[in-house]
Structure 1
């Protein structure tokens, strides 16, 4: 009986709290109503106070509902569900076998079809990719057999556990990773993977106090054994003609120290290298960095106005092969790990499907194909896309977003908001807790190994023993008429 007063009192408290919360909610709605009715910026909120605010919430949620409920497996952009699912399963080392036929429509123009042969390569006859040497004439050339590697993603744009995961995963798979333009962090080195040091337009990590390229800093980077090559970034797929952007809330003290910039301020790179104004300047820069470091040097570029490639090749022949780039990374206009203006992402630059064969054929026409290796980049995240690039003649393939998916990215499109729900592109410690590198690094390793394995499977069907034996006779492209043409017929330059 003594418990009844207690229960009665407890219920009274709950009732008071309930009535109070209702009252607060009503007052809140009245305040919002008054604000909306009197503001003059948003017509919807002025005409439909309170209710009109739900429009923005539904608009935000629509992105996620479309991704999970309303779009078909092969409809969504930038990456559809079928592509993401393949990467997720490969990264988890789960079988990618499917039943009851393909959901891929083979009729649209541009569709790639590989040409199987009547007598496929037997598994026992298959061989691993042969090693390729980049910068044979350098003091310290780089030789690797890894055809699939990690493209440029800066520490700062990516979180600490994400970079560590990539470093350990790449090492276990025998692949290289690119630093991105944000400089070399301890986390890139932690796993022991081979490193490509990218030199962006702001020269982060190798700049002096005035922001100019420093030979002393170059020597420091080159003295690190893991650093195998240097890549000059002329442009990238997300924003050709615009510099990299890192919001100030991501520029921590640690990142500021690595880059050599003020803490807490937006990190905005120039839209191009201020000291590279011509092909002569570019070749001088390549020659200078190679002489200082003794290691292979190349450049990354999105192809647009491609007449300059002919001029560049002619200038190399005129000045001598010692000025030639050791490699060219051809990025696609469809790139985009970084946030960028929609006008650049949507409309500027050539896609990799057009630019890759163009660059390879230009190099061959000028007798530079053996001297300069070609690395393909830009949405090449599945075995078929990698195999296509090899058919076109690429020596290596790199991807950034493919590895973000391998780490667990759900394409939430929050990369530039420091609110990535998977902890990949945020410096929010609470969100980073979800990304455990001891587990995610294995996903990186599995992704690399499964890509290479399935590229080999496609190759065996086409009758080749190794992925490096692919050529333009092994794939066809569907035309507007519905019929397909061989790559060797469409691009006879090789």
Structure 2
């Protein structure tokens, strides 16, 4: 027989259990009544209570897939093999694998590098020299690295993420693009080279009316870390639409940096109101370059391309010094920013088509040596970066690769302020997981590893350094299963399409 105290405890536990069961039954009855009474969800109305599990499983499915069900090479936007390569590289593990490749080499468009029978010996390897951008600017920029950090705004990214990127960029000797959100003290913390992006809302360099302010341009240019200015026409996440920053991310600091009201959603115009044609564009480039004394380039997603041909004609009419100092070509298949699915999925050419097209146009117009090409858009692996250099890029930059180096797990919550790794949230409780000191080391290690592996590809192809890669070093798989040299493909039709939409736009 149990002691009296034990029987009393057992009695209390029994009562608590009955109360818990009763409470659960009551909750189920309430849910049942609510589900069968509501009219918005047919599944819950026909299958009360049980129908709610559909929404739960749908929400959890995206997380379970990447861990338990998806194969290494089948996820989008980045599969497990790609993410794991970045993770290993950022930890300094060298990006080496074993037992053969899991990458299928038969899909149409797959790039295959042609190795040389007599690859470059280590004693003959040449370092990648700095490349000058903006020879006609008062302060040209000798960019030291061919691989850099793409445009990601402070606001879209968290404070510790920007701090880690800045410190990592400083250690790796690469530039960091501010994105359209303006320049913060966190960008400058690592003493890295900065590319200041001017978006359509002129964040950080706007006056009270939202127009470009020469005085604020001068203030930004006075920072020694700021090496170049990038005038954004469009970006891969939303070609034809301005930037989007939810109200939940517009805190006091972000509002002050951007020059916008606190706590209100920030929407940029879908283009620069004062730029309605190529003449306006060249005038704006000249103005920024004159005010700042530093190189000025443009960023865009290629769709219609006739305007690029016309821009080249207008440049030659004015003189080559009027040209943008660089063109950043972004891919039309999305980016780190939040965007309407209709644009992200369907508008703008992917980088695989647009980059060689722009390079071919500039060569044909005799401007390839004057205008540097920066390739951007999902180029986070050595093979992608090496392909871009072979296709005509002078520089490659990436955003999401560095987000993975910061710890991103591709939870697809970038725009919801609920990023579980602290990369894209302004909630202090979530940011605490991202320690800038530690993540900066991973940012630098990822950049160093990628550059080293691009060099490995270049040496295998028989050239001494990555910028010597040419289209002839790459073959692209065709529909019949055979590959052809990229050098034999014509990426630009011989004549312009007469009915192709191009600038100037009509009011």
Return closer, same or farther for 1:11/1:128 CA change in 2, 3 Å cut-off.
farther
Deviation at 1:19, TM superposition (A): 2.2
1:36-115 residue pairs with structure 2 within 5 A?
36-115=35-114
> What is the deviation of 1:30?
1.0
Is the 1:246–1:266 Cα contact (8 Å) retained in structure 2? yes
For residue 424 of structure 1, what is the aligned residue in structure 2? 423
Structure 1 residues 376-415: aligned runs within 5 Å: 376-415=375-414
Q: How does 1:181-330 map to 2 (within 5 A)?
A: 181-330=180-329
Change (3 A) 1:17 1:137: same
Partner of 1:367: 366
SS at match of 1:181: helix
Secondary structure at the residue paired with 1:59?
A: helix
Within 2, Cα distance between the matches of 1:169 and 1:14?
Answer: 56
Structure 1, 42-51 or 24-33: larger mean CA deviation: 24-33
CA contact (8 A) 1:87 1:447 kept: yes
**Separation in 1 of the partners of 2:11 and 2:418?**
41
Residue in 2 that maps onto 1:118:
117
How far 1:28 moved relative to its partner?
A: 1.3
CA deviation map 1:81-138 (0-9, x unaligned): 1111111111111132222211111111101100001111111211221110000111
**Whole-Å Cα distance in 2 between the matches of residues 75 and 105 of structure 1?**
11
SS in 2 for 1:290: helix
Scaled by the length of structure 2, what TM-score is found?
Answer: 0.95
Deviations 1:47-70 (A, max 9, x none): 011111110111111111211111
Give the secondary structure class of the aligned counterpart of 1:161: helix
Secondary structure, counterpart of 2:153 in structure 1: coil
Contact 1:36/1:45 (8 A) holds in 2: yes
> What residue ranges of structure 2 are gaps of 5+ in the alignment?
493-507
Comparing 66-75 with 93-102, greater Cα deviation is found at 93-102
Distance 2:217 2:111 in 1: 42
Instruction: Tell me the CA shift for residue 228 of structure 1.
Output: 0.5
Aligned pairs for 1:348-367 within 5 A:
348-367=347-366
Question: 2:330 corresponds to which residue?
Answer: 331
Report the Cα distance in structure 2 between the residues aligned to 1:207 and 1:61, rounded to whole angstroms: 42
CA distance in 2 between partners of 1:92 and 1:442 (Å) = 8
Q: Are 1:130 and 1:468, in contact at CA under 8 Å, matched by a contact in 2?
A: no
Q: Using a 3 Å threshold, how does the CA distance of structure 1 residues 223 and 5 change in structure 2: closer, same or farther? A: farther
What is the CA-CA distance between 1:7 and the residue it aligns to? 4.3
Structure-1 separation of matches of 2:151 and 2:458: 28
CA distance in 2, matches of 1:159, 1:7: 54
Q: Report deviation, 1:198.
A: 0.4
Give the corresponding residue for 1:451. 450
Q: Deviations over 1:471-491 (max 9, x none)?
A: 111111011111111111114
Distance 2:21 2:402 in 1: 48
1: CA distance between counterparts of 2:315 and 2:156?
35
Which residue is equivalent to 2:167?
A: 168
Aligned residue for 2:228, secondary structure, equals: strand
**Counterpart Cα distance in 2 of 1:47 and 1:16:** 35
Could you report, residue by residue, the CA deviation over 1:154-174 in whole angstroms, capped at 9, with x for unpaired residues? 111000100000000000000
Contact 2:241 2:271 in 1 (8 A): yes
Cα gap change, 1:328/1:13 in structure 2, threshold over 3 Å: closer, same or farther? same
After superposition, the Cα gap between the structure-2 partners of 1:51 and 1:492, relative to the gap in structure 1 and judged at 3 Å, is closer
Is residue 2:485 matched to residue 1:489? no
Separation (CA, whole Å) in 1 of partners of 2:5 and 2:256: 61
1:30 corresponding residue in structure 2: 29
Asked whether the equivalents of residues 241 and 269 of structure 2 are also in contact (C-alpha less than 8 Å), the reply is yes
Q: SS at the partner of 1:51?
A: coil
Q: 1:287·1:322 contact (CA, 8 Å) conserved in 2? A: no
**1:202-257 Cα distance to aligned partner (Å, 9 max, x none):** 10000001100000000000000000000011000010001111110111011011
Aligned to 2:471: 472
1:107-146 to 2 correspondence within 5 Å?
A: 107-146=106-145
Tell me the secondary structure at the aligned position of residue 181 of structure 2. Answer: coil
Does the 8 Å contact 2:422/2:431 carry over to 1? Answer: yes
Q: Which residue is equivalent to 2:17?
A: 18
Q: How far apart in 1 are the matches of 2:439 and 2:5? A: 52
Quote the RMSD (CA, aligned, Å): 1.4
1:141·1:295 contact (CA, 8 Å) conserved in 2? yes
Shift in Å, 1:20? 2.1
After the TM superposition, which of the residue ranges 421-430 and 6-15 deviates more from structure 2?
6-15
